[in-house]
Chain A
Amino acid sequence: MEAIFALAIGVLTGSGVWLLLRPRTFQVIMGLALLSYAVNLFIFGMGRLVTDKPPIINQEGAIDPSLYADPVPQALVLTAIVISFATTALFLVVLLAARGFTGTDHVDGREPDA
């Protein structure tokens, strides 16, 4: 499973970086979305892959940490997901505004000369 997980992150990152380097604003937004999936999965993976051990404590008395997945990367990723939503919204609006002002959806605000 680790290999598949790693490969998935790789493919998401590759697609994201490719789109990031494209000239149209919508491509860049899509790229950022893919890249944020990859990064979130990567951070999440830092807690290692464990199944059926959600970090929700279901025992009383002394608690054995080995029965639960690492909650720290999960907490980090949770905030990252919400923030990436906010940035996507902001980028979208900047894109629309820039499009209205410059008349093009090229990332530099004007069509390339060549």
Chain B
Amino acid sequence: MTLTLVVLIPFIGSLCAAFLPSHARNAAVWLSGMVTLACVTLVVSLFPDVAAGQVVRAQWNWVPALQLVFSLRMDGFAWLFATLVSLIGALVVLYARYYMSPEDPVPRFFSFLLAFMGAMLGIVLSGNLIQLVVFWELTSLTSFMLIAYWYHRAEARRGARMAMTVTVAGGLCLLVGVVMLGEIAGGYDLDTVLAAKGTVTQHPAYPVMLSMILLGALTKSAQFPFHFWLPHAMAAPTPVSAYLHSATMVKAGVFLLARLWPVLHGTDLWFWLVCSAGLSTLLIGGFAAIFQRDLKGVLAYSTISHLGLITLLLGMNSELALVAAVFHMMNHATFKASLFMAAGIVDHETGTRDMKRLSGLAHAMPLTATVALVAAAAMAGVPLLNGFLSKEMFFHETIFAGEGPLIRIVLPAAATLAGMFSVAYSVRFIHQVFYGPLATDLPRKPHEPTRGMLLPSLLLVIACVLVGTLPGRTIGPFLNIAIGAILGDETPDYSLQVWHGFTVPLAMSFLALIGGIIFYVLLYRRSERALGRAPVRAPVDGRRAFDIVMVAIIRMCDRLIRMISSRRLQMQLLLIVFVAFATAFVPLWGYGWPAGDMKLTPINPIFVVLWLVGCACAIGAANQAKFHRLAALIMVGGAGLVTCLTFAWFSAPDLALTQIAVEVVTTVLLLLGLRWMPRRLEFDDPRRRTLRARARRVRDIVLAGTVGAGVAILAFAVLTRPPVEVLEPYFISRSLSEAGGRNVVNVILVDFRGFDTMGEITVIGVVALTVYALLRRFRPAPESRVPPRAQREDAAREALESGEGLPRGYLRIPATVARMLLPMAGLVSIYFLLRGHNAPGGGFVGGLVMATAIIVQYMTSGVLWVESRLRIHPQYWMGAGLMAAGIAGILAWFAARPFLTSLEWDGHLPLVGDVHLSSVLLFDLGVFMVVVGGTVLMLIAIAHQSLRRPRKTLPPDDSVETPVRVTVAEV
């Protein structure tokens, strides 16, 4: 339980912080402080169990079908990392309290910071590899949000994108590698995987799997050649750099390598891949750090270099090197977080991070200078500080890394060189910023920061000194259990002592110290300007390579799209139709004539005539749609009517009802739209007579004919075979007994498959709102702006526009009738709604009838008259309808049943008699209201366009036209 809370609390805290108002600075800090301290306490409280050698666990089923278990697991190594993450997290929260400016929306910052902390703890404590990758990607995501925290800055956005692309692409590779590893090891559980040590490296897929996992780990830990994202990530606020990009997130890669070290190490491939990446990163990062101008740039490259050192140690295939690696992870986190905080203080108090401008700050802020000096000394590997100890172990390991003269000479030499670089940039960092004459032209007058801001950095530095002087008493026991958790019985003897006597590693240390100082002095003497620009450019500029690759990918996609697709809709549709046809045709080819053996129903001549008309309408519409839109519309309506009769003929009364109602509404809708279409084309357009146009038409006719014939044959083949009776008996036999409804179609819609219907009415609502939104800024084509002649010369028009009383002229009688019909139509629609469960009807039909009645008012009485009297507010109806449907579903929860289970109530009311109520009725009422609201909203939005007036006085690009006022009356 404690373990679960450790991961859960930060996420809960993150959620809470997200809902704080954006100026609630102190509340966010208090919340985050409590959360981080709670995590620290919980983690520390688990120490006795872990120290006793136990593995603390917590598990839930995640996807039982895949044997996926959500599992948390804390052994010594995980404990050490969890402590690091939560402790530094607490310090960073305190630091960020003073660092962030009051103008920044601080709760957002803390929300992401806490989410990151939860994700990082998730990585560290995962007992399942897939789950680990999920948390891994979560850290990439939160890192993206934190780097882009000041998203108004282009560099922040760019850095965030780059970090995201690199680490997420790596994460994807990691997922592949982890899946392979799980398959090889026989399970994704970390214990299963670790138990498979020795066998994994023998597997033929090992090289591929290893490369994939390494791609994930090396991108995350910013190893060469993927290191370039880290310096760009420095656009983040400094607390983020201190926490994510030096102490924790970038350690996730090396953490994973150490975690899987027992299983993966021991091969030549491991040695060469990991060591070469580590060594090159160590040298390149260290060299580049010397020449940075930006204070944080120095620290970023130095972080890259130190991560390279850790990677190199992990690659050496030696248990002692692993000890050194884990030790250095801790040490680096301590001094680098402290240095970042110091850099942030400098930035905060002086207003710049440019090392050319900074100078002599030790006069103005002696305390900060002292803290930074000690931390930088630890980074350089000065004796009596923690960096010295792990670096000493590192030097020791390089001497014994492998056989062969090459490795035995090159590796120690390279290590010493890297040590010199490290000393050089550390000295430069301190010397240029804090010593010399005090800079005078700084944006702000430097002074010591508030105590709260300095405190976290100071605490970390004290830890550096304590570990450096008394390693055995401080870090010793913790390191012991961490190493024991990874290596088990194979834990080597190692000594955490400051003094080992006069040894080769000690000599290398001093060589590096002296060499580094000399190197810096030479550089400084040569030219002050040399610092700030590297004399040798790296052969591969990571950032440029990244840009080139991104551009190449986009170009390739463009080319691919152009190759396999077309920008022309006609060609796309042609391909879609053709592919759909081929997909059905190919597997069926070779079965011969498909007629089945079921007895055919006798042909009824009336049905034949019906469909002769229907087919004539369809073909006529196909022929006329271009030249005579109104005729085409009428003929499509005719085909729809025949379809509707066919439904009625073959025992589908509900379908027939719905179809006829939809038919009316659709036709009215399209009629309203016709007004805004362009002048119709002439039949004898010369373009139609070219050879190409004719060929195109022939091709389309052939395809249309073939597809039509194919569908007809397919339909015939199915219709002449007996049905497979699986679903029908199920629904028929249970409709009455389980759902209490006689109309099975309606019961399926509102009860058995109620969730589908709920989705459907949501779609209707979305479409209606989209229609409304699209028409708000509708700009009619120029020639459509003038009202058509028929409208201008219409005597009845005047009255329609005035919105007063009954229209004059030929519309008077229809309008009178329509007004009288309105309440009747309302009654009929409610009747359909209520009886829907037991007889043809239901919410859809009822809603459409109601909507039609309202539309008829529009047609006969004009827009103004109706809108000034409309009591239906379509948006409210849609909202209320969706809510009714949702409530009907949720009601089931109160009866401890699943969502949308129908509930019934039978009772007796005085005067009314026996009453049968069901939550299904509420649901159907919701459907009814959404359909009424949605349909009316769409039709009104289009009909309202006729009130538009051409605005000749305004420039044509003035798009702020009168918005569609759908309802006016709220009396």
A-side residues, CB < 8 A to B, are 1-24, 26-31, 33-34, 37-38, 40-42, 44-58, 63, 65, 68-72, 74-75, 77-79, 81-90, 92-97, 99-101, 103-105, 107-108, 114
Contact = CB atoms under 8 A, between A and B. Distances in A.
Contact of A24 (B626, B707, B725): B626
Interface of B: 567-570, 573-574, 577, 600-604, 607-608, 611, 614-615, 618-619, 621-622, 625-626, 629, 632-633, 636, 639-640, 642-643, 646-647, 649-655, 658-659, 662, 665-666, 669-670, 673, 676-678, 681, 687, 690, 692, 700-701, 703-705, 707-709, 711-716, 718-720, 722-723, 725, 727-729, 731-733, 735-736, 742-745, 748-749, 753, 756-757, 760, 763-764, 767-768, 770-771, 774-775, 778-781, 838-840, 844, 931, 934-935, 938, 941-942
B607 A11 contact: no
A75 B753 contact: yes
Contacts of B690: 114
Given A1-B602, A22-B625, A71-B745, A30 B633 contact: yes
Chain A binding site: helix, strand, loop or mixed by DSSP? helix
Nearest to A109: B569
Nearest to A73: B652
A9 B715 contact: yes
A71 B750 CA distance: 13
Nearest to A2: B719
Nearest to B615: A11
Contact of B767 (A12, A87, A103): A87
B639 A27 contact: no
Given A22-B625, A44-B647, A107-B569, A78 B778 contact: no
Contacts of A20: 573, 577
Given A10-B709, A57-B744, A82-B931, A93 B666 contact: no
Nearest to B708: A14
Contact of B725 (A4, A16, A65, A79): A65
A55 B681 CA distance: 48
Contact of B715 (A19, A33, A42, A53): A42
Given A10-B712, A40-B643, A108-B567, A71 B744 contact: yes
Contacts of A72: 727-728, 731, 748
Contact of A45 (B718, B743, B749, B767): B718
Contact of B651 (A18, A51, A96): A51
Contact of A44 (B650, B731, B757): B650
B829 to A, nearest CB: 15
Contact of B625 (A19, A95, A103, A114): A19
Contacts of B931: 82
B715 A45 contact: yes
14 contacts: A1-B602, A6-B719, A12-B615, A14-B704, A19-B625, A21-B574, A45-B718, A72-B727, A78-B658, A81-B662, A85-B662, A89-B768, A96-B775, A100-B676
A1 B607 contact: yes
Interface hub of B715, B753, B763, B771 (most chain A Cβ within 10 A): B715
A89 B600 contact: no
Contact of B577 (A21, A75, A78): A21
B708 A17 contact: yes
Contact of A79 (B708, B732, B760): B760
A82 B847 CA distance: 11
Contacts of B723: 46-48, 70
Contacts of A11: 614-615, 618-619, 708, 712
A77 B646 CA distance: 13
Interface hub of A9, A26, A78 (most chain B Cβ within 10 A): A78
Given A4-B608, A48-B719, A100 B779 contact: yes
Contacts of B781: 99-100, 103
A89 B767 contact: yes
Contacts of B673: 92-93, 95-96
Given A63-B733, A70-B728, A38 B711 contact: yes
Contacts of B647: 44
Query: Closest 7 A-B residue pairs measured CB to CB?
Result: A14-B708, A10-B712, A6-B716, A18-B704, A15-B622, A71-B744, A75-B748
Given A6-B713, A14-B707, A26-B625, A101 B779 contact: yes
B652 A18 contact: no
Contacts of B626: 22, 24, 26-27
Given A10-B712, A13-B711, A79-B757, 12 more contacts: A4-B611, A5-B715, A21-B704, A44-B647, A71-B748, A78-B749, A92-B670, A93-B673, A97-B775, A97-B779, A107-B570, A108-B570
B731 A45 contact: no
Contacts of B770: 90, 93
Nearest to A69: B651
Contacts of A49: 601, 650, 719
Nearest to B741: A57
Contacts of B600: 1-3
Nearest to B767: A86
Contacts of B654: 74, 78
A5 B678 CA distance: 37
A53 B567 CA distance: 49
A71 B728 contact: yes
Contacts of B780: 96, 100
A96 B778 contact: yes
Given A15-B622, A63-B733, A82 B712 contact: no
B622 A9 contact: no
Contacts of B655: 44, 74, 77-78, 81
Contacts of B716: 2-3, 6
B749 A75 contact: yes
Contact of A93 (B713, B749, B771, B840): B771
Given A3-B716, A92-B670, A56 B650 contact: no
Contacts of A13: 707-708, 711-712
Given A72-B728, A75-B748, A99 B840 contact: no
A99 B781 CA distance: 7
Contacts of B728: 47, 65, 68, 70-72
B616 to A, nearest CB: 9
Contacts of B768: 86, 89
A100 B745 contact: no
Contacts of A81: 655, 658-659, 662
A104 B570 CA distance: 15
Contacts of B662: 81-82, 84-85
A77 B568 CA distance: 31
Contacts of B633: 30
Contacts of B736: 57, 63
